[in-house]
A and B are shown apart, each in its own frame.
Chain A
Amino acid sequence: MTAEIVSTAIFIISLIIIFSEKVHRTIIALAGAVVMVAAGMIFGFYNEEQAAASIDTNTLGLLLGMMILVALLEPTGFFEALAVWVVRLSKGNPVRLLVMLGIATSLLSMFLDNVTTVVLIAPVTILICEILGISALPYLLAEALLSDTAGAATLVGDPPNILIASAAGFSFIDFLVYSFPIVLGSWLVALGLLYLLFRKEFRTMIPDTEAVLKLNPGEALKQPRSAIKVLIVIGFALLFFLLEETLQISPSFVALGASAVGLLWLRPNMTETLKLIEWNVLIFFGALFVIVGGMEAAGVLQSLSDLIAGAASQSTLVMGVGLLWVSAVLSAVVDNVPITIAMIPVIENLGKTGIDIAPLWWALVFGAGFGGNGTVIGSTANIVVYSLSERTRHPITPMIWLKRGTPVMLATCFTATILYSIYYYAFGF
């Protein structure tokens, strides 16, 4: 019992300090991980070996691999060219720009990690908005929210999906069949709501379109040959993601393999390339795995499974909807990766009792995917956008997020609940 209390306390205290934003989240996560291991050794529930084993190398490897691919693509100017092309299509109209940037960000985040997507799109969005003389805030917020939402549609779109797919044995195609339609419906609701929430701002914006229309996407694309090479490598990586089951390979192997091929083909300055990797995010994730691993070792997650199994007399649909909302609320408070890691053994334990857990996995996909939109620290993409905006004259505050981001999270979860229920009865999971 002491182990359960101590490990839960370390987890919760770490989350509270992370949420308070007084100290950088990576420092807290690292400190929390060390305290968890130390407490584990003192109380005998966790040790260094278990801590090292709790780090999900598949997720970290996939993230690192995708980050390297993006680090190769970034200097080519591909993302600037894409954003410039999008803004020219929108003709500088604020609402049209929201829709076009939203679509571009969402398409990117379906194939790249949400974090990488916003890391690349947000700075150029700030550039476009400054040149237009309009506030970047609605667009930055929309990019984080829509990339989180769209990321749930594919296996590689978001780390929780990778974790769930590997635990449940779902393929890339399973995601296109079961997740994509529900995500599309929720995404449309999110975009509509973003327009409604910012309609006053859009009405008062007077964009200075002249300079923006002079931007040339061809000029923004600095190294077209390198861009084509990296896009070919990413294309092949996607193909291998689809063939993952047939070839019996992990997504992290595909991503790291693709990054190795990309590095060999382009042979960039390695020091400069590695500077573009978000080491911060990787360390944060690694440390969180160790913290959650401590809770698992202490038996907290088993107790949680038992608690849910007690309510297993409910129908799978009720349990699914419950899980969707519980994981969404939890993902809003803490990063959805540790929540997903914590939920996976809980669902697996439920499966052992004979419950059909397939609908529960999908509920977790939507809950973890959309729940992150709830607060500024709910997802890594949010944190990235938030940190970037802090370096501008008009930073996004946690309060702004609560007013504009949280309603979007609630609306997408509500839409997903309805579509999930319809899917459950009409087609079954």
Chain B
Amino acid sequence: MKDHHPVTIGQSMKGRVISICEDARVIDAVRLFLENHIGTLPVVDSQMKLVGLVTMETILSLVMPDFVHLMDRFSFVHDMGAVETRTPDESDLRRCISEIMTAPVFVEEGDSLLYAAASKRNHGLRDIPVVDAQRHLVGIASHVDIGSALMRSWKLEP
């Protein structure tokens, strides 16, 4: 008999989630990334409802050279020269997080693990926020959390 009650994402997520308020500044996000060694920050409103996402990629795009967006291939550039040491402008660091955040991508706590893995994969994310029925942030699951939980259910012959 097959198990018709698969493990849900709510059982495999991290319940302790570090988030950022929508009216915080970019510099606050940078500090949170550095202090907590994380790669994704769910953005919440005052009721802890998920309103957006800020990833490390978003922040790093502030110093990314322009040609990276304009060229498909730059594998012949091994040294970025003058742009290697570029730091974000003061004005960029002072911008409100809601200006640079992307639309919220999430799964609900009762959703299946494979659905969470597929959703995360489709959006090119490393971590996916988990919300309750009212869209309150209740956790976050990384690709390692989801992948390990899925692999644990596999029958591994010795």
| One of A75, A80, A391 near B76 (C-beta < 8 A) | A80
In the assembled complex, the Cα of A220 lies from the Cα of B66 at a distance in Å of 18
| One of A80, A126, A134, A211 near B66 (C-beta < 8 A) | A126
With A80-B76, A220-B76 already in contact, the answer to whether A211 and B81 are too (CB < 8 A) is: yes
| One of A84, A123, A214 near B78 (C-beta < 8 A) | A214
Asked whether, in the complex, the Cβ of A126 is within 8 Å of the Cβ of B73, the reply is no
Does B118 interact with chain A (Cβ within 8 Å)?
no
Residues of B within 8 A of A207 (CB): 82
- Chain A 357-396 per-residue mask, 1 if CB under 8 angstroms from chain B, else 0: 0000000000000000000000000000000100111000
Asked whether, in the complex, the Cβ of A123 is within 8 Å of the Cβ of B70, the reply is yes
Asked whether, in the complex, the Cβ of A132 is within 8 Å of the Cβ of B71, the reply is no
Residues of B within 8 A of A131 (CB): 65, 77, 79-83
| Shortest CB distance A412–B (Å) | 28
Asked whether, in the complex, the Cβ of A215 is within 8 Å of the Cβ of B83, the reply is no
Residues of A within 8 A of B77 (CB): 127, 131, 215
In the assembled complex, the Cα of A215 lies from the Cα of B67 at a distance in Å of 15
Asked whether, in the complex, the Cβ of A132 is within 8 Å of the Cβ of B81, the reply is yes
Residue of B nearest to A217 (CB): B76
Residue of A nearest to B71 (CB): A123
Residues of A within 8 A of B69 (CB): 391
Chain A 202-246 residues near chain B, CB threshold 8 A: 207-208, 210-212, 214-216, 219-220, 222
| Shortest CB distance B56–A (Å) | 20
With A127-B74, A222-B73 already in contact, the answer to whether A392 and B66 are too (CB < 8 A) is: yes
Residues of B within 8 A of A220 (CB): 76
Which interface class (under 10, 10 to 19, 20 to 34, 35 or more) fits A?
Answer: 20 to 34
In the assembled complex, the Cα of A388 lies from the Cα of B80 at a distance in Å of 20
| Shortest CB distance B81–A (Å) | 3
In the assembled complex, the Cα of A75 lies from the Cα of B77 at a distance in Å of 16
| One of B70, B72, B73 near A391 (C-beta < 8 A) | B70
Asked whether, in the complex, the Cβ of A130 is within 8 Å of the Cβ of B76, the reply is no
In the assembled complex, the Cα of A219 lies from the Cα of B84 at a distance in Å of 21
| Shortest CB distance B42–A (Å) | 29
- Chain B 1-30 per-residue mask, 1 if CB under 8 angstroms from chain A, else 0: 000000000000000000000000000000
With A77-B73, A80-B73 already in contact, the answer to whether A211 and B79 are too (CB < 8 A) is: yes
| One of A127, A133, A208 near B67 (C-beta < 8 A) | A127
Residues of B within 8 A of A208 (CB): 81-82
With A77-B73, A124-B71 already in contact, the answer to whether A130 and B65 are too (CB < 8 A) is: yes
Chain B 61-98 residues near chain A, CB threshold 8 A: 65-67, 69-84
Asked whether, in the complex, the Cβ of A126 is within 8 Å of the Cβ of B81, the reply is no
Residues of A within 8 A of B82 (CB): 130-134, 207-208, 211
In the assembled complex, the Cα of A122 lies from the Cα of B70 at a distance in Å of 9
Asked whether, in the complex, the Cβ of A211 is within 8 Å of the Cβ of B76, the reply is no
Chain A 181-208 residues near chain B, CB threshold 8 A: 207-208
Asked whether, in the complex, the Cβ of B66 is within 8 Å of the Cβ of A215, the reply is no
| Shortest CB distance B32–A (Å) | 26
In the assembled complex, the Cα of A130 lies from the Cα of B70 at a distance in Å of 12
Residues of A within 8 A of B70 (CB): 122-123, 126-127, 388, 391-392
- Chain B CB count within 10 A is highest, among A75, A131, A222, for A131
Residues of B within 8 A of A214 (CB): 78-79
In the assembled complex, the Cα of A123 lies from the Cα of B81 at a distance in Å of 17
Asked whether, in the complex, the Cβ of B83 is within 8 Å of the Cβ of A216, the reply is no
In the assembled complex, the Cα of A133 lies from the Cα of B66 at a distance in Å of 12
| Shortest CB distance B63–A (Å) | 11
| One of A210, A219, A392, A393 near B81 (C-beta < 8 A) | A210
Asked whether, in the complex, the Cβ of A391 is within 8 Å of the Cβ of B83, the reply is no
| One of B65, B67, B72, B76 near A84 (C-beta < 8 A) | B76
Residue of A nearest to B69 (CB): A391
Residues of B within 8 A of A219 (CB): 75-76
| Shortest CB distance B35–A (Å) | 29
Residues of A within 8 A of B81 (CB): 130-133, 208, 210-212
| Shortest CB distance B110–A (Å) | 39
| Shortest CB distance A338–B (Å) | 29
In the assembled complex, the Cα of A208 lies from the Cα of B67 at a distance in Å of 17
Residues of A within 8 A of B65 (CB): 127, 130-131
Residues of A within 8 A of B66 (CB): 126, 130, 391-393
| Shortest CB distance B73–A (Å) | 7
In the assembled complex, the Cα of A208 lies from the Cα of B83 at a distance in Å of 10
In the assembled complex, the Cα of A172 lies from the Cα of B82 at a distance in Å of 45
Residues of A within 8 A of B84 (CB): 211
| Shortest CB distance A295–B (Å) | 37
In the assembled complex, the Cα of A392 lies from the Cα of B69 at a distance in Å of 9
A-B contact pairs, 14 of them (CB 8 A): A80-B76, A126-B66, A131-B80, A131-B82, A131-B83, A211-B81, A211-B82, A214-B78, A214-B79, A219-B75, A219-B76, A220-B76, A391-B69, A392-B70
Chain A positions within 8 Å of B, measured between CB atoms, are 75, 77, 80, 84, 122-124, 126-127, 130-134, 207-208, 210-212, 214-216, 219-220, 222, 388, 391-393
Beyond the given pairs A130-B83, A222-B73, 13 more chain A to chain B contacts, judged by CB atoms under 8 angstroms and listed by A's residue number, are A77-B73, A80-B71, A122-B70, A123-B71, A127-B65, A130-B65, A133-B82, A134-B82, A211-B80, A211-B81, A215-B76, A220-B76, A393-B66
Complex A-B, nearest 8 residue pairs according to Cβ-Cβ distance, in ascending order: A133-B82, A211-B81, A131-B81, A127-B67, A392-B66, A211-B79, A123-B70, A220-B76
